[in-house]
Amino acid sequence: MRDAYTDQLDAIFDDLAAISRRVQSAVTEATEALMTGDASIAEQVISDDAVIDQAREQVEERAFELLSLQAPVAGDLRTVVAALRMVAELERMGDLSVHVAKIARLRVPEVAVPEEVRPTLQRMATVAEDMVARVTDVIAGRDVEAAIALGRDDEEMDQLRRTSFTELLSGEWDHGVEAAVDIALLGRYYERIADHAVSIANRVIFVVTGHNPASVA
């Protein structure tokens, strides 16, 4: 009986890792749409978000079933509660990818990102993609060391966000208010994706060690 229960807990984490992989694809494809002005890719990201939403519902149903039927305590309860919070954050990361795709779609046939700020935005996107990939591994392996490292490496995203603001406020900006709003929003979306990745990593630390990192909301 205990083995079946443990398998159910493990299955929840397998589902979380699978959702994280879908989110990683969403971030990558949304960025491609943004940088190329490809409306079809943007539309695909937007439509595929329904799959992430459905996967979240399935994880929640499984978690609530465990709570109601097994009445978990201690470490098991910690795992189920953390999983519910993690799946909500993964869904939000998917939503943020949709926001990126919608900006890309809105500006077609133009490309939303002006040439001089492309390096900064592209790097933000790359960092976000990397953090989602790493958090997938953290979830799959419940890897505390990798989770700690992920939190430490978030500083680059913060620096890139500051750089993007500097570029927007530069006296040389001549792309108008609409483009400035796009860049400000895009920077925020990528920053929040990274923030959610760090938060999920911290929740894995909590599940494995019982220690609740201060940065977990």
Q: What is the pLDDT of residues 138-153, one digit of tens each?
A: 999 999 999 999 988 7
Confidence of residue 217 (pLDDT cuts 50, 70, 90): very low
Q: Is residue 63 part of a domain?
A: yes
Is the pLDDT at 201 greater than 70, yes or no?
yes
Number of domains in the chain: 1
- Between 101 and 3, whose confidence is greater? 101
Is the pLDDT at 216 greater than 60, yes or no?
no
d(CA 10, CA 16): 10
pLDDT in tens, 12-71: 999 999 999 999 999 999 999 999 999 999 999 999 999 999 999 999 999 988 888 776
d(CA 52, CA 18): 10
* Neighbour-count burial of 144, counting CB atoms closer than 10 A to its CB (0-12 exposed, 13-18 middle, 19+ buried): middle
- 164-182 burial, b at 16+ Cβ within 10 Å, e below that, comes to beebbeeeebeeeeebbeb
pLDDT the model gives residue 215: 47
Q: Is residue 85 part of a domain?
A: yes
Q: Is residue 217 part of a domain?
A: no
Is the pLDDT at 103 greater than 90, yes or no?
yes
Q: Is residue 24 part of a domain?
A: yes
Is the pLDDT at 189 greater than 90, yes or no?
yes
Q: Is residue 57 part of a domain?
A: yes
Confidence of residue 2 (pLDDT cuts 50, 70, 90): low
pLDDT the model gives residue 117: 92
Q: Is residue 99 part of a domain?
A: yes
Nearest to 13 by CA among 198, 138, 193, 130: 138
3-state SS string for the chain: CHHHHHHHHHHHHHHHHHHHHHHHHHHHHHHHHHHHCCHHHHHHHHHHHHHHHHHHHHHHHHHHHHHHHHCCCHHHHHHHHHHHHHHHHHHHHHHHHHHHHHHHHHHCCCCCCCHHHHHHHHHHHHHHHHHHHHHHHHHHHCCHHHHHHHHHCCHHHHHHHHHHHHHHHCCCCCCHHHHHHHHHHHHHHHHHHHHHHHHHHHHHHHHHHCCCCCCCC
Q: Is residue 215 part of a domain?
A: no
Domain that holds residue 15: 2-209
Q: Is residue 149 part of a domain?
A: yes
Nearest to 42 by CA among 117, 121, 107: 107
What average pLDDT does this structure show over 175-183?
91
Nearest to 34 by CA among 22, 23, 46: 46
pLDDT the model gives residue 214: 59
Which CATH number covers residue 87? 1.20.58.220
Is the pLDDT at 1 greater than 60, yes or no?
no
Query: 62-66, 171-175, 201-205: which has the highest mean pLDDT?
Result: 201-205
Amino acid at 27: V
Do residues 59 and 12 touch, judged by C-beta distance below 8 A?
yes
pLDDT the model gives residue 59: 95
pLDDT the model gives residue 3: 66
Is the pLDDT at 7 greater than 70, yes or no?
yes
> What are the two backbone dihedrals, phi and then psi, of residue 114, each rounded to the nearest 5 degrees?
-60, 150
Q: pTM of the predicted model, to two decimals?
A: 0.92
